[in-house]
Amino acid sequence: MTNNKYEDLLKLIEEEIEDKYNSNKKLLKILEKIKSGKITYVDAHNFSEELGDIISKILTDKISSGALINGKLEPNIAKLILNPVLKKNHKDVSKVCIAAQDIMNKSNKLGINAVKTKTPKNKINGLIKYASSAEQFDDVKNIFRDAVLTFSQKNVDDFIKVNADFSSKSGLEVTIIRTVKGDCCDWCKNLAGVYDYNDVSSTGTDVYLRHRKCRCLVTYSSSTKKKFENVHTKKELSYEERSEIANKMLNNLLKVKEVE
């Protein structure tokens, strides 16, 4: 393929993503919640997973060793294709996060807008580097597909992280909630629970981390009054006890009333 054909390939990928986006019932239902004022970070997570799944499948369907010169995805071609696609993913996911955060701010009677995250250039460059590292793209295709999905999910995690920090600095009591979805590994089970923000505010904390194929849900609650305690401060609780507390808090967050 010539560079012009790779540009045509990018156009084909973008058009297919757009078609899937506009016809996906799950995504459209979540976008409707923005209009009704009932959007939450749980919806943002679901949105990021669904959109990430769409993008990752289309990318790995359209890009293969057989369609590349000598089977390798060269760095310049990887950049040409992945840069605009992943930037658009960040923009679309951020739109839902902004709406969810604005509702939280209104419920706390804060006259401020959501703190927006910058385009994660380092993460994008990391995916470009990985996709172009193998002599045969098909050798890394499966891991690359999972990495694209994780990238989409991390857009929500990063948004939560900066807004939880801003809420805490604004004087609110902030609680981080991590719950598991379906069967999960022991590492994720160990992280499930409810945390006082001050205990996990360092950049090196594990509560925001994800491994390959991780579907854990990370969200947060903010209030003008302290309502919750870190489940790890009083005593060591079992995974079942921590999950029960976290899920109860998560259910409370889902009971969002329309903000006038």
**DSSP letter string, 103-123:** HHHHHTT---PPPPPPP-HHH
More confident of the two residues 141 and 241: 141
Answer for the pair 108, 38: CB distance below 8 angstroms, yes or no.
no
pLDDT mean over 119-130: 97
Strands across the sheet with 193-196, in order? Answer: 193-196, 173-179, 217-223
pLDDT at 232 over 50: no
pLDDT band at 147; cut points 50, 70, 90: very high
H helices of 108-140, where? 121-131
pLDDT mean over 21-31: 98
pLDDT given at position 233: 44
pLDDT mean over 25-46: 95
pLDDT given at position 132: 97
d(CA 63, CA 137): 8
pLDDT at 109 over 70: yes
| Domains of the chain by residue range | 3-162, 170-254
Return the minimum-mean-pLDDT range out of 37-46, 60-69, 91-100, 189-198: 189-198
d(CA 72, CA 43): 37
DSSP state of 196: E
Q: What are the two backbone dihedrals, phi and then psi, of residue 172, each rounded to the nearest 5 degrees? A: -85, 155
pLDDT at 3 over 60: yes
The predicted model scores a pTM of 0.85
pLDDT band at 236; cut points 50, 70, 90: low
What is the C-alpha R_g of the chain? 20
DSSP state of 140: T
Answer for the pair 239, 178: CB distance below 8 angstroms, yes or no.
no
